[in-house]
Chain A
Amino acid sequence: MSDKKDITLTINGRDHNVSVDPRWTLADVIRDHCGQTGTHLGCEHGICGACTVLVDDAPVRSCLMFGVQADSKKIRTVEGLAKGEEYHPLQKAFMENHALQCGYCTPGFLMLATGILEAQPDISDDELNDVLSSNLCRCTGYANIVKAVRAARDEMKAAS
């Protein structure tokens, strides 16, 4: 058996000291060992994007990284989006535009969209379509997700 490694994961600004088996994916460590179950797992092999989190501000598939690789990196998950009672503009836009039904894919889409809108606040509709094609949703048919992210982009731009 492989030895456990002691690591520190900084999730949404809070340090979690955990002892991890190297084979545990970042998604499993976040969910099972740091108790942050907002990040979902769909396929566990890189196809669906439900597990998307931000690692050092870049959206990545947390099922395709090992937890041990995220030692001392800055991780952001869906739990970190709202400021207290105040929802993030993307969360509001998802509610207002009916961009979720069962909600399983939503944390992944929210983190994907957060990452891209922070990196490219002026992203065009076409580029946004391409980025949003990264993740799968079995319910909405995507149109409302696209609408919501465009609305949040415009709102976040106006606010900045």
Chain B
Amino acid sequence: MKPAAFEYHAPTTVDEAVTLLAEHAPNDGRILAGGQSLVPTMAFRLARPTHLIDINNVADLDKLVIEDGALCIGATVRHAQFHTPACDGVLGHLLTDVVSNIAHYPIRQRGTFCGSVAHSDPASEWCMVSATLDATMVAQSASGERLIPAAEFFETVMTTTLNEDELLREVRIPLLSDDTLYGFQEFNRRAGDFAISMTLVTYRLEGGKITDPHIGVGGAEDRPRRIAEAEAALAGQVPGDDAFRAAADAAAAAIDPMEDHATNAQYRRDLTATLVRRALENAAS
């Protein structure tokens, strides 16, 4: 259980970090952020990076500010920084409700928001939040900056459209209006484990009817995403059991669930329907 040897780099500027990444990425050089996913993988020798570029000393990556109507989360912002609301309004509360479901307290002291998104475990809470709320990923390489919408970012299990020489410099999540209602639900067999399925829903009411519904599902499929069929079932409806069940059933029917030794596809489908319904009920209550 000991990581293999690697060269250690500790840049202090973003320029230095992306220059090192450009140089070493072709030989499996990687970013080291919180280390809470990478180091276990290295301990198992499932990963043997030759160079690690530690971004923990890079000034400017710890930004957590509102800019142009979005919460901008820099690459060294830790999970624990969401234990209390990171911004005023609905979004800050939503992130605080979600964060307690991520791993455990000590892991949240080191693990980063952007590291989770770059790592892209299908059951990552931050990945699902980013997908549901249409976040924008800011990718930085030695040759410049690129903005990637969440819908084009998550490809499949632990695979994103980030290039190997790109640093995920920040994630921008659009702020939510004060009348946004939200609900979050996840299920796992033990506190702190990765979820078997989870969902985040948001919507607003106009004249008593649901408008602008977002229904995201994570953990059930190979990547988190908004489920258009479920959102369509909800839009324009009066909130209540009928609408919620219809949307939950639509979500369950639309997904292509993963299977593993303990969980078959039908179980994940049924679970997802229940979680979506409960999240919609939470949002309404």
Question: Number of residues in A with C-beta < 8 Å to the partner?
Answer: 32
Chain B residues whose CB sits within 8 angstroms of the CB of A133 once the complex forms: 104, 191-192
Does A12 sit within 8 A of B, measured CB to CB? no
A49 and B10 CA atoms in complex are apart in Å by 27
Interface residues in A13-54 by Cβ distance below 8 A to B read 21-23, 25, 28, 43-46, 49, 52
**Contact between chains at B36 and A46 (CB < 8 Å):** yes
Inter-subunit contact B8/A44 (CB<8 Å): no
Residues of A within 8 A of B109 (CB): 58-60
Does A82 have its Cβ within 8 Å of any Cβ on chain B?
no
- Taken together as a complex, chains A and B put the C-alpha atoms of A116 and B104 apart, in Å, by 12
Stretch at the interface among A61-69, A98-106, A147-155: A61-69
A112, CB-defined interface residue at 8 Å:
yes
* Contact across chains for A2 and B5 when beta carbons are under 8 A apart: yes
Knowing A2-B6, A22-B52, A23-B6 are in contact, say whether A63-B106 is a contact too (CB < 8 A).
Answer: no
* B110 in the interface (beta carbon within 8 A): yes
Which of A1, A2, A21, A64 is in CB contact (< 8 Å) with B110? A64
Q: Which residue of B lies closest to A52 (CB)?
A: B106
B6 touches A64 (CB 8 A): no
- By a CB distance below 8 angstroms, the chain A residues around B100 are 130
A131 near B: Cβ within 8 Å? yes
Known contacts A1-B5, A46-B39; decide if A134 and B52 are in contact (CB<8 Å).
no
What 1/0 flags go to B1-12 for Cβ under 8 Å of A? 111111110100
Given known contacts A45-B43, A112-B106, is B35 in contact with A64 (CB within 8 Å)? yes
Q: Is the Cβ of A65 less than 8 Å from the Cβ of B105? A: no
Chain A residues within an 8 Å CB radius of B39: 25, 45-46, 63-66
**Residues of chain A within 8 A of B8, CB atoms compared:** 2, 5, 22, 66, 68
The interface residues of chain A lying within 8 Å CB-to-CB of B1 are 43-45
For B110, the chain A residues whose CB sits under 8 A away are 60-61, 64-65
**Are B106 and A61 in contact (CB-based, < 8 A)?**
yes
Q: How far does the Cβ of B121 sit from chain A's closest Cβ, in whole Å? A: 14
The reply on B56 being an interface residue by CB < 8 A is yes
Q: Compute how far the CA of A46 lies from the CA of B41 in the bound complex, rounded to whole angstroms.
A: 10
- Give the residue name and chain of the A residue nearest to B1 (CB): A44
A40 vs chain B, min Cβ distance (A):
14
Closest residue on chain B to residue A28 by CB atoms? B2
Instruction: Give the docked Cα–Cα distance between A61 and B111 (Å).
Output: 11
**Which one of A3, A44, A64 has the greatest number of beta carbons of chain B within 10 Å?**
A64
CA distance A155 to B102 in the complex (A): 30
Among A43, A58, A134, point to the contact of B104 (Cβ < 8 A). A134
Determine if B35 and A65 form an interchain contact, defined as CB atoms under 8 angstroms apart. Answer: yes
Chain A residues lying within 8 Å of B36, measured Cβ to Cβ, are: 46, 61, 64
A-B contact pairs, 14 of them (CB 8 A): A1-B5, A2-B6, A5-B8, A22-B5, A23-B5, A44-B1, A49-B106, A59-B105, A61-B36, A64-B36, A65-B39, A66-B32, A130-B191, A134-B107
- 8 A-B pairs besides A44-B1, A45-B1, A130-B100 with CB distance below 8 A are A43-B1, A46-B40, A49-B104, A60-B110, A69-B54, A69-B56, A112-B105, A133-B192
Binding site for A on B (CB under 8 A): 1-8, 10, 32, 35-36, 39-40, 43-44, 52, 54, 56, 80, 100, 104-107, 109-110, 191-192
In the A-B complex, the 10 residue pairs with the smallest Cβ-Cβ separation, listed nearest first, are: A134-B104, A22-B8, A44-B1, A45-B40, A58-B109, A64-B39, A59-B106, A23-B3, A133-B191, A131-B105
